[in-house]
Structure 1
Amino acid sequence: MIEAQNLTKTYGAKTAVNDITFTVRPGIVTGFLGPNGAGKSTTMRMIVGLDRPTHGSVTVNGRHYADHSSPLHEVGALLDAKAVHTGRSAENHLLALAATHSIPKRRVHEVIELTGLQSVARKRVGGFSLGMGQRLGIAAALLGDPQTLILDEPINGLDPEGVRWVRSLVRSLAAEGRTVLLSSHLMSEMAVTADHLIVLGKGRVIADAAVADVIGGAARASVRVRSPQASVLASTLASPDVTVTHVEHDLLTVTGLDAGAVGDLAARSGIALHELTPMNASLEEAYLQLTNDDVEYRTGSSARDLEVTR
């Protein structure tokens, strides 16, 4: 279990993490989300003792990370897959980590097999692809068979098979009763992997709830409507609380009414419908709505922003 109480981190005048309190519980996969600059990386670094909180505290399995006599047996972390001596082989890197905790050599071989590194185990890490580097980072996190896992962007650089493997891995670890904190920018993957979400925005917790509750609370469901009288239907449905978007000449997306209400209005107006399909809100839509006011770094809104002055 990971417990943060009033956790705060400042760098001079910059507040990276602002008085956040949360609990990551065992037995479920907790997704850790937020825009760039929201404070996720700083929070994870404080959990494993790489940064010292300015105020507040965070514990893993009831103790501060530095107070654990054998931290690799308590928490495994993948924060930076590139934090490896590039001249070492994958096997030697893991053996060196294992030696710090008297972890037997057979465990090194177990995590190499588990992460699919057998064919490259004796090759230098400097020649690894991004995906292989991620697998090595996951192997290191699993080395001590810890009860708590912290994985920052573990599927970055992985192929579809690797993504599916990570999804299965974290789900199985949670099913064993372990605590899993998973960070990713891929909302589609988080939607099918995580049970619970903690969302940061500008250093604060802006959501701490089950995935279904985050989607239901931050995004309104839409209805896909096809009609030969689409323009007339759009005028009929128009109101301050309803948004109607023309997708094609005969196809609308309606937000703010459910399928039954759209069908009833169309029937009363004598408008024929060729399609009426409820569209559930996605995690991506919910996330974007939830964090809209907390995005620190925005891209330009038009091609003009990309022009080069000569």
Structure 2
Amino acid sequence: MIEAHDLTKRYGDKTAVHGISFTVRPGTVTGFLGPNGAGKSTTMRMIVGLDEPTSGRVTVNGKRYAEHRTPLREVGALLEAKAVHPGRSARAHLAVMAATHHISPKRVGEVIEMTGLSTVANKRVGGFSLGMGQRLGIASALLADPQTLILDEPVNGLDPDGVQWVRNLVRQLAAEGRTVFLSSHLMSEMAQTADHLLVIGKGRIITSGPVQEVIDGVLGTTVRVRSPQAADLAPLLQAAGGTITSPEPGALEVRGLTGELIGNTALDHHIALHELATQQASLEAAYMALTQDAVEYRSETAPPETSPEPIHSGASR
């Protein structure tokens, strides 16, 4: 378990992390999301003692990282895959790490096999591709079979097969009761991998909770309706508490009402329906809405698309 209490980190006049508190629990994959510069990497570095908090405290399994006698057996971390001597082979790098914690050479072979490095294990790391470097970083994190895994952008540079492998790996580790804390900018992948989310922006926690709860809390569920009598149905649904937009003639997008209620309302008023489909909002859309005011490094974007025309209760047919 990872527990942070009022964690703050300042670099000169800049405060990178502002008094954040959170808990990452075992048996769960917790996704750590936020724009570039939001404080994710700083937070992860403080967890493993690479940065000292200005104030506050963060512990892993009840102790500060530096207080653990054998920290690699407690926490496995991938923060910078290239933090390896380029002249060493993957096997030699892992063997040196193993020697510091009295880890059997057999385990070195196991993680090499587990991470798909067998064919390159004796090659110099300096010649590795980005994806192979990521696999070595994950192998290093798994070397001591720790109960807590901290992975910063673990799928960066991996091909689709590698991405799926990481997804299955972290799910398996969580199922074994381990604590898994990972960051990624791939929202579609995070939606498939994480159970719980922690979203940070400008050094502050924006929201946290189970993935679907976070999405629904921001965007809710949208029900798409098509009907030749859409203009008659819209005010009835508004009166029932729905928020209605019309993306095209004869179609409605409804928020705040269930498909069942919409269908019953149409039936009660003898309105024909040609489509009634519940559409779950995406994590990407929820993330963009959550962090729109927390982006420090924003690129120039294309002009926004025209918003769907709102339907007003007084609209005429």
Judge same fold: TM > 0.5, yes or no.
Answer: yes
- The 5 A counterparts of 1:239-254 are 242-246=243-247, 250-254=250-254
| Aligned residue type for 2:183 | S
Distance (whole Å) between structure 2 residues aligned to residue 97 and residue 90 of structure 1: 11
- Matched pairs, number: 303
Amino acid across the alignment from 1:132: M
Letter in 2 for 1:183: S
Could you tell me which residue of structure 2 aligns to residue 277 of structure 1?
277
The reply to whether residue 295 of structure 1 matches residue 295 of structure 2 is: yes
SS in 1 for 2:163: helix
In the other structure, the counterpart of 1:306 is none
Letter in 1 for 2:96: A
SS at match of 1:137: helix
Amino acid at match of 1:185: H
Contact 2:234 2:244 in 1 (8 A): no
In 2: Cα distance, 1:254 partner to 1:134 partner: 43
Distance in structure 1 (CA, Å) of the matches to 2:236 and 2:24: 47
Q: Which residue of 2 aligns with 1:46?
A: 46
2:118 matched to which residue of 1? Answer: 118
> Does 158-167 or 103-112 show the bigger shift?
158-167
CA deviation vs aligned residue, 1:130-181 (integer Å, no higher than 9, x gap): 2111111000000111111100111112122211211111111112221111
Q: Equivalent residue of 1:294, what SS?
A: coil
> 2-side partners of 1:204 and 1:122: how far apart?
43
Partner of 1:171: 171
Corresponding residue of 1:202 = 202
Structure 1 residue 118: deviation in Å?
0.5
Alignment match, 2:34: 34
Alpha-carbon distance change, 50 to 139 in structure 1, aligned in 2, over 3 angstroms: same
Partners of 1:56 and 1:166 in 2: how far apart?
Answer: 32
1:1-310 equivalences under 5 Å are: 1-228=1-228, 242-246=243-247, 250-264=250-264, 266-267=266-267, 271-302=271-302
Gaps of 5+ in 2: 304-317
Amino acid at match of 2:157: G
Give the Cα–Cα distance (whole angstroms) in 2 for the partners of residues 236 and 59 of structure 1.
54
How far did residue 260 of structure 1 move? 3.5
- What's the CA shift for 1:269? 6.2
Alpha-carbon shift at residue 102 of structure 1 (Å): 2.0
1:222 and 1:254 in contact (8 A); partners too: yes
Q: Is the 8 A contact 2:148 2:178 kept in 1?
A: yes
Partner SS, residue 57 of structure 1: strand
Structure 2 Cα separation of the partners of residues 241 and 260 of structure 1: 13
Residues 153 and 185, structure 1, Cα contact 8 Å, conserved in 2:
yes
Distance 1:230 1:299 in 2: 39
Q: Which runs of 5+ in 1 are unaligned?
A: 304-310
TM-aligned CA deviation for residue 234 of structure 1: 5.9
Do 2:33 and 2:200's aligned partners in 1 also have CA atoms closer than 8 Å?
A: yes
Aligned equivalent of 2:313: none
The answer to whether the Cα contact below 8 Å between 1:154 and 1:184 also exists between their aligned partners in 2 is yes
Cα displacement (A) at 1:249: 5.1
Structure 1 window deviating more from structure 2 (104-113 vs 66-75): it is 66-75
Rounded to whole Å, the distance in 1 between the matches of 2:231 and 2:186 is: 36
- 1:97 Cα deviation after fit: 1.4
- Residue 244 of structure 1 aligns to which amino acid in structure 2? T
Q: How much is the aligned-residue C-alpha RMSD, in angstroms?
A: 2.3
Q: What is the distance in 1 between the residues matched to 2:256 and 2:210?
A: 23
Q: Whole-Å Cα distance in 2 between the matches of residues 129 and 151 of structure 1? A: 19
Percent identity, please.
Answer: 67
Q: Could you say what secondary structure the match of 1:3 adopts?
A: strand
Q: CA deviation at 1:288?
A: 2.3
Secondary structure at the aligned position of 2:293 is classed as: helix
C-alpha distance in structure 2 between counterparts of 1:260 and 1:194, whole Å:
29
TM-score (norm 1): 0.89
- Structure 2 distance, partners of 1:93, 1:102, is 14
Q: Does the 8 Å CA contact 1:237/1:244 hold for their aligned counterparts?
A: no
Letter in 2 for 1:210: P
Question: 1:171-207: CA deviations, max 9, x gaps?
Answer: 1111222111111112222222212111112111122
**Does the 8 A contact of 2:81 with 2:133 survive in 1?**
yes
How far apart, in 2, do the equivalents of 1:86 and 1:93 lie? Answer: 10
